[in-house]
Amino acid sequence: MSGAQQPIGVFDSGIGGLTVVKALITNLPQESIIYCGDTARVPYGTKSKSTIVRFSLENVEFLLRLGVKCIVIACNTSSSWALPTLRKFFKVPIIGVIRPGASAAVRLSKNKRIGVVGTRATINSKAYDAAIHRLDPAVKVFSQCCPLFVPLVEEGWTQGAICRNVVETYLRPLQKQRIDTLILGCTHYPLLAQAIRQVMGAGVSLVDSGEQTASDVRAVLAGNDMLANGRLKPRYRFFVTDEPAHFHQVGHRFLGQLAGSVERAHLQG
């Protein structure tokens, strides 16, 4: 099918989506990727639905101008609020991170008590609740927004007393609910996995949507006969809306070694 050799388009409010890119590169090594991080307007998680939808539309328009064959929304906030609108406006396959995360959690949970942590916008959207209940209406979902988690990660304070105290403060209500599975509903949160594991204990499985999202992307591409055939060397291009310097400095925390160019994107905004 035409388009199969085109790159996968990935966008996020900033750099957190690189954790999803990492999973895509590992699981779909023959695919080229174009990433757009809206670092000039980051974060989305503190903002309202209408603004999140508008910014998301602009990201997708930018990626489509570069000829991507599908869109991966590597941002929980945008997946939560903008996915239905994006699917209405654009014809290419669009994959968010909510359904994959919900699906992995429902499979993992034994006691059917699942926790979700995310930004204020993600939690307020109740998108995870809806996705989980579509898979299993009997699951009880307990949600908690954690506005300080992203700033902690961006500051690099992912261990130590402050980190531990913040994590404990947010997760205490979830501990009391005896969840056995916790969805890390923000692409920054896997960098806090160790601190979260210390607080929640080994009995609680942590779900990072990245791996399951890569699996979903593979399924969608295969279903549309759009998997790259592996004859071309994959190419990675990274775009950001603020200056690329910061991306160079911190991108490796999320992605490991960066193998690709970093350029400045000019969206409408």
Residues that bind a copy of itself (CB under 8 A): 39-42, 46-48, 50-51, 55, 147-148, 151-152, 154-155, 157, 161-162, 165-166, 169, 241-243, 245-246, 268-269
Select which of 36, 75, 145, 146 is catalytic. 75
- In the numeric block, which tokens belong to residue 84? 């239905």
Minimal distance, residue 84 CB to a copy of itself, in Å? 19
Minimal distance, residue 40 CB to a copy of itself, in Å? 5
Among the listed residues 238, 236, 256, the one whose alpha carbon sits nearest the alpha carbon of residue 247: 238
Among the listed residues 55, 42, 189, the one whose alpha carbon sits nearest the alpha carbon of residue 123: 189
Minimal distance, residue 142 CB to a copy of itself, in Å? 20
Q: For this structure, is 145 an active site residue?
A: no
Radius of gyration of the chain (CA): 18
CA atoms 52, 53, 56, 61: torsion sign: negative
Select which of 145, 146, 163, 186 is catalytic. 186
Between 47 and 69, whose beta carbon lies closer to a copy of itself?
Answer: 47
Please, are residues 30 and 5 in contact by the beta-carbon 8 Å criterion?
A: no
CA–CA separation, 24 vs 36, rounded Å? 15
Minimal distance, residue 13 CB to a copy of itself, in Å? 11
Minimal distance, residue 47 CB to a copy of itself, in Å? 5
* Burial of 156: CB neighbours in 10 Å, binned 0-12, 13-18, 19+: exposed
- In the numeric block, which tokens belong to residue 10? 């990935």
Q: Give residue for tokens 């974060």.
A: 43
Between 65 and 266, whose beta carbon lies closer to a copy of itself?
Answer: 266
Minimal distance, residue 135 CB to a copy of itself, in Å? 31
Between 94 and 121, whose beta carbon lies closer to a copy of itself?
Answer: 121
Backbone angles phi, psi at 33, to 5 degrees: -135, 135
Between 46 and 198, whose beta carbon lies closer to a copy of itself?
Answer: 46
Please, are residues 143 and 124 in contact by the beta-carbon 8 Å criterion?
A: no
CA–CA separation, 48 vs 68, rounded Å? 28
Q: For this structure, is 75 an active site residue?
A: yes
Between 162 and 222, whose beta carbon lies closer to a copy of itself?
Answer: 162
Between 127 and 163, whose beta carbon lies closer to a copy of itself?
Answer: 163
- Ranges of beta strands (E only) in the chain are 8-12, 33-37, 70-73, 94-95, 113-118, 140-145, 181-185, 205-208, 236-240, 261-264
- In the numeric block, which tokens belong to residue 38? 């809206």
CA–CA separation, 53 vs 17, rounded Å? 17
Instruction: List active site positions.
Output: 75, 186
